[in-house]
Amino acid sequence: MSAHLAPLHEAFARLDAVWADAGGADALARARLIEANDALGEARRLLDALHAEVAAGIAHESRRELGPESAAKQQGYRTAAQLIATTSGMSAGDATRLVRVGEATAPRTDLLGAPLPAKYAAVGAAVASGALSVAAAALIIALLERVRFTTDPAALDEVERLLAEKAAGLSLDDVRRLTARPEAWLDPDGVEPREGEVRARRSLTMFERNGALHLHGVFDIESADPIRAALSGYVSNAFAARQNAIDPDAPDADHRTVAMLQADALSSFCAHVLGCGADAPPLAGATVVVRVDLADLIAGTGYAAVDGFDQPVTIAAARRMAASGGVIPCVLGSAGEILDWGREKRLFTRAQRLALVERDGGCAMCALPPDLTRAHHIAWWQRDTGPTDLDNGVLLCESCHHRIHDNGWEIRIEGTGATAKVWFIPPPYVDPARTARLGGLARYTLTA
């Protein structure tokens, strides 16, 4: 067996061991299903890593200067990506991604033929080991390429290493969140042009089809955040009313989905603006919070973060937003406001919640936006006499809150204040070793 293929063979051997005593997935016990899923995930990542290497080789043998001797053209295809897409049954975009990742992580040679390390060796090593998927590697490489010529090479190498290490074990959506903000502090001068490009593309189109009005909108973050906050507040209020209902299973109970609630919210807001005479639509937690470093705010440099969005905004945008009604800049503990109330108060204060959002970013377990979360005591107020302090608080959505209590998970806080880390410890039946899983905003924050 080739040493190059050994990890893939080992992954398939683990998968084969899971299937040894079962006739198929429907005959596997729950624990075996989890093992099979893990083995399949590893095998898929390793197989895609090998495919990326092969794709890079095909692209090299199909480079333009070869003309009719191009491997792709000899096989009857215009490009290497078209060849790979057709023979693999994937989209042209996925094939192009394979080629780009393969080329960016493959060893190189200089003009004299001397060997050079791969352009992104740390990402390549993570992909080859099966720790990182090709799709996740493509997101990291795309970020590094955008800032490559505006960033110190040593800093770029360090960011690559941290991203490759941090992205292992994350979903693709979480990797997107992970790569959203490093670009801003690697290339702060690039935030404003990108922000201007998005704003220039903003649009809202409407058309009627099959008796329904269809809306499609594209908004820059500055314009979008009041929309997001208002819709989320309406949804949160509806869910709170649903939980407090006397009989949630009654025929007339509210069973609307989130998408339905958001549609009803928009209709309600527009009717109110038109002067229908009704009271303002009820909202829960519909506050726009802009988080910015005080020094950056004064100097006008750097960038700011907006709750509910991964992409940062310019300081100029933050200033404009902070000057609008219903928008507050996040200055924790200002004017001597107390952030830790001990046992004097049962409910977390507004300032404490802002501090928890700064630390957790939203639901500390599943990353839902802050508007859809509540502050919960880790050590219960009543049962454990837990204090209403930041170090005993955590933001959780209702689903994760029930999951923690019903399934035996534990929460631990490492450190103090808004820079602390939240760790979730699974019960023994999930992980016998009870390996802690990082939660909160630290999951998406790069730290050397």
**For residues 52-78, average pLDDT:** 92
**Rounded Cα distance, 204 and 196, in Å:** 17
Q: Which of 126, 152, 179 is the last residue of a domain?
A: 179
- At which of 132, 147, 179 does a domain end? 179
Pairing mode of beta strands 212-218, 303-306 = unpaired
Mean of pLDDT values over 370-374: 81
Q: How many domains does the chain have?
A: 2
* Confidence band, pLDDT 50/70/90 cuts, at residue 90: very high
Domain that holds residue 20: 3-179
Residue at 218 is within a domain: no
- Kindly state the tokens that stand for 315: 């300081």
The answer, yes or no, to whether residue 289 has pLDDT greater than 60, is yes
Q: How far apart are CA 191 and CA 210, in angstroms?
A: 41
What share of the chain has pLDDT > 70, as a percent?
Answer: 85
Residue 52 resides in a domain: yes
- Please report whether residue 93 resides in a domain: yes
pLDDT at 310: 76
Rounded to whole angstroms, the Cα distance separating 376 from 411 reads: 11
- Return the half-sphere exposure (C-beta side, CA atoms, 13 A cut-off) of residue 256: 17
Q: What is the mean pLDDT of residues 279-295?
A: 64
The answer to whether the beta carbons of residues 316 and 331 sit under 8 Å apart is: no
Cα 37 to chain centroid, rounded = 22
Q: How much is the pTM?
A: 0.74
Residue 424, domain member (yes or no): yes
Which of 100, 160, 164 is closest to 130 using CA atoms? 164
Cα 97–chain centre separation: 20
Boundary-marking domain end, from 155, 179, 203: 179
Of 363, 427, 349, give the one whose Cα is nearest residue 394: 363
Question: Is 435 domain-assigned?
Answer: yes
| Half-sphere CA count of 12, side-chain side, radius 13 A | 8
Q: Is the pLDDT of residue 347 over 80?
A: no
Q: Is the residue at 300 inside a domain?
A: no
Domain assignment of residue 147, yes or no:
yes
In a domain, 243, yes or no: no
